Chains A and B, each alone.
Chain A
Amino acid sequence: MRIEEHPILSFDKGRRVDFIFDGKTYEGYEGEPIAAALHAAGIMVLGHSHNKQRPRGFYCAIGNCSSCLMVVNGQPNVRVCTEKLQENMIVETQVGKGDLR
């Protein structure tokens, strides 16, 4: 959900771009964190814990806690709370710990 009205802030947004999350197309603003675009689209589950497969969202939103690791354009373990959204980015839920290529 986007904040449309604010008494103090005005939000400078990039242009609207499409991106793909787990095979489906979504819209976001270029340059905003991937996690913000996903959250605005109502997607809170970004991954699952390794052992018990419990759902994981972001926690710190500033690149500290590693709760939001996803696969972005094929690269695993990307912190989507700080990684910036680009047009046609392919964002996927990560399964496992990710492989070195």
Chain B
Amino acid sequence: MRTTEIAIIGGGPAGLCAAISAASLGAKVTLIDRNDNLGGQLIKQTHMFFGSQKQYASIRGIDIAGILMKDLDKYQDKIELMLDATVIGMYEDGVIALEQNEKYIKIKPQSVIVATGASEKFLTFPNNDLPGIYGAGAVQTLANVHGVAPGKNVVMVGAGNIGLIVSYQLMQAGINIKAIIDASPKIGGYLVHASKIRRMGIPILTSHTVKYAHGKDRLEKVTLCRLDEKWQQVPDSEFDIETDVLCISVGLSPLTELLWQQGCEMKYVPELGGHVPVRNENLETSMKGIFVAGDVAGVEEASSAMVEGRLAGLCAAKALGYIAADFEEQKNDCLDQLNSLRSGHVGEKIRSGLAQVTV
């Protein structure tokens, strides 16, 4: 059986930063991703990031992936990459099982950083399974990575950051956005994104939801309706929009299967997207040697995922005896960055969620 010191599952922003930070301290790292490329969802994010310089503010997500990959290259001798490799199990004895090239491979690491990210949530309404109804992230992948338009017209459900950003990016690709709707009475995403879209003349309809989707083999039309202050449908407020694409952007669920299998203590925290692991300040779960970073620990922005990755890498390495001379300083720098990313009104939900799972 193969061995390694730190296995990192997921090579998105969190996993990449975790690998760089642990390997830079001398730990032997195995970085595993089910895709044939690293970068996770960064590779489709053409927008510039917020935050501060340390989290690559004002740089496009697609370019951040490149920067992180270059950093990773510096530690080639410490990092073993396993791509096209899907982790399918984590067992009681600490063994990780994965599938690569149709082979079943077992690895025994000394510790693990789970950075598996999150998946898109779904919305319930009649005919929600019609082709043409896609996750907003899926449409972003199709358009920005593969250069294929999802359709001619799009109605976007969800005025959070993903809904707003993907709408804008689809417009850049020449696709017509008919409307953005959100069940909430307020726009959830940053107002800079929302104003950019409104200036292009696209209506953002708050307090609206999807009542019905129509079509035989694919989406042709949606029926929308208004919601009152108690989130109930307003009678006779229905209206139709003809569209061949409906994008669903109603949040993400952490991909926590491996943590459940491992027996980590989990807690349901809606503010963080669903069930998330209980963890300490070092991002270690209730199982010793199992760390988490990024969306799997609670859905946030990629900026905080990168800082969490660095922190988890730092702490996992320390637990194995690779102690940075300035460990406390580096750790505090990470914690300060996270606090600042989660500060103010926009971070309120995240702060209240984290307070419930941090021990």
Contacts of A62 in B (CB 8 A): 35, 41, 119, 137-138, 141
Give the CA-CA distance A9 to B47 in the complex, in Å. Answer: 11
B147 within 8 A of A: yes
A60 near B120 (CB under 8 angstroms)? yes
Contacts of B152 in A (CB 8 A): 1
Give the CA-CA distance A55 to B357 in the complex, in Å. Answer: 41
Give the CA-CA distance A58 to B131 in the complex, in Å. Answer: 7
B134 near A58 (CB under 8 angstroms)? yes
Q: Interface on A for B, CB 8 Å cutoff? A: 1-3, 5-9, 11, 13, 32-33, 36, 39-40, 44-46, 49, 54-65, 81-82, 84
CB within 8 Å for A60 and B119 given contacts A36-B142, A45-B218, A49-B129: yes
A7, A49, A62, A64: which has the most chain B beta carbons within 10 Å?
A: A62
B132 near A44 (CB under 8 angstroms)? yes
B298 within 8 A of A: no
B46 within 8 A of A: yes
Choose one: A6, A13, A46; the contact of B131 (CB below 8 Å). A46
In the complex, what residue of chain B is closest to A13 when comparing beta carbons?
B147
B174 near A5 (CB under 8 angstroms)? yes
Give the CA-CA distance A40 to B119 in the complex, in Å. Answer: 24
Residue-wise, chain B 167-193 has the 8 Å CB interface mask toward A (1 for contact) of 000001110000000000000000000
A59 near B138 (CB under 8 angstroms)? yes
B34 within 8 A of A: yes
Give the CA-CA distance A21 to B41 in the complex, in Å. Answer: 29
B101 → A minimal CB distance (Å): 13
In the complex, what residue of chain A is closest to B118 when comparing beta carbons?
A64
A6 near B137 (CB under 8 angstroms)? no
Contacts of A36 in B (CB 8 A): 142, 146, 148
B328 within 8 A of A: no
Q: Interface on B for A, CB 8 Å cutoff? A: 34-36, 41, 46, 60, 62, 119-120, 122, 129-135, 137-139, 141-144, 146-152, 172-174, 217-218, 255
Chain A interface SS verdict (over half)? loop
CB within 8 Å for A61 and B138 given contacts A39-B148, A45-B218, A56-B129: yes
Contacts of A2 in B (CB 8 A): 147-149
In the complex, what residue of chain B is closest to A33 when comparing beta carbons?
B146
Give the CA-CA distance A50 to B40 in the complex, in Å. Answer: 31
B146 near A9 (CB under 8 angstroms)? no
Contacts of B142 in A (CB 8 A): 36, 39, 61
Contacts of B141 in A (CB 8 A): 61-62
Contacts of A40 in B (CB 8 A): 148
CB within 8 Å for A45 and B148 given contacts A55-B217, A62-B137: no
Choose one: B36, B151, B217; the contact of A45 (CB below 8 Å). B217
In the complex, what residue of chain B is closest to A40 when comparing beta carbons?
B148
B131 near A57 (CB under 8 angstroms)? yes
